[in-house]
Structure 1
């Protein structure tokens, strides 16, 4: 049993060393579309997210880098239309534990700045425009599956985080805490160069 654990430990250590000094590039793309009735009003809601990351693996298990996220959502109904655009930019640190040559688990800790702009329309004339700035911090555990030569898939099922948004023109200040393990599923791709 001790020999098997030693062999397993050496193979994991050897795999981890193979990644040191590489550049990590990856990200997620998401799209949702919903149609529902609200107070006899048929509403169509769509959203699009794009969140790329780039980092440098400076140690056997540690990666540090930059992350971005661009989101756009729209709700259109018979009576009104709203549109929201948001942007996040920050840094992340990742700790990775290889389980085998194919599987690794990792945790991403990211923090940075965020911006949101909301527009509401009623029969096309603009009636509301709100802008907000804030910050975010989040922790996301995930699974990496190495498909071939550093190219792989990332799977996560939620995370833990805190966000703030302060709206202009004496608008509300929003502070959000989320713990959504098992409520969301994210699939992304990444490549180590």
Structure 2
């Protein structure tokens, strides 16, 4: 199943800048592994998006995320998110566009049945290759989330991570 999700995620890595009346399909995939002595942890995340460009510069859609955590000596855990997003894009030339995604929604973690919400703002650069294909680059953004479990105290995080993360993806615009 993980190989299928990885192949699907590589096919549609991130949402693209598109033309009015088109569908956008994409997402991100991530994996990390860390070993300290005899302890090992692995994380896998798949975050699909689908949207519709309803005006020349505006796109709205649905986004989600499934993340699994595995640590040596403990049970694996899952966290998922489901929400909506809106994108505003501005072309700089035929080759380049800039855009910002604003997303918000619900999140749930399997540990202690924790529930909460998230909000994020991510600016990015789109490079138009041809035939609706392009490259997308982002270097972080602003995000807030909270989560509250049955036996755990409420957790709140506010992040400003410009320059701390780097994402690159391939995208495709599907005309209707």
Q: TM-score range by the shorter chain?
A: 0.7 to 0.9
Q: Deviations over 1:156-187 (max 9, x none)?
A: 1111011010102x421111111111111122
Structure 1 residue 83: Cα displacement: 2.3
Equivalent residue number for residue 57 of structure 2: 61
How many residue pairs match? The answer is 158
Correspondence list, 1:45-124, <5 A: 45-76=41-72, 80-118=73-111
Equivalent residue number for residue 9 of structure 1: none
Equivalent residue number for residue 121 of structure 2: 139
- Gapped regions of structure 1 (runs ≥ 5): 1-15, 119-129
**TM-score normalised by L of structure 2:** 0.84
Q: Distance in 2 between matches of 1:82 and 1:184?
A: 28
Equivalent residue number for residue 123 of structure 1: none
Equivalent residue number for residue 173 of structure 2: 192
Correspondence list, 1:106-185, <5 A: 106-118=99-111, 130-168=112-150, 170-185=151-166
Question: Which secondary structure does the structure 2 equivalent of 1:181 belong to?
Answer: coil
Q: Distance in 1 between matches of 2:29 and 2:100?
A: 19
- Gapped regions of structure 2 (runs ≥ 5): 1-16
Choose between structure 1 and 2 for higher RCO, CA contacts under 8 A separated by at least 6 residues.
2
8 Å contact from structure 1 (residues 114, 134) kept in 2: yes
Q: Deviations over 1:57-99 (max 9, x none)?
A: 11111101110111112121xxx32422111000000000112
8 Å contact from structure 1 (residues 112, 137) kept in 2: yes
Q: If you compute each CA radius of gyration, which structure gives the higher value, 1 or 2?
A: 1
8 Å contact from structure 1 (residues 29, 188) kept in 2: no
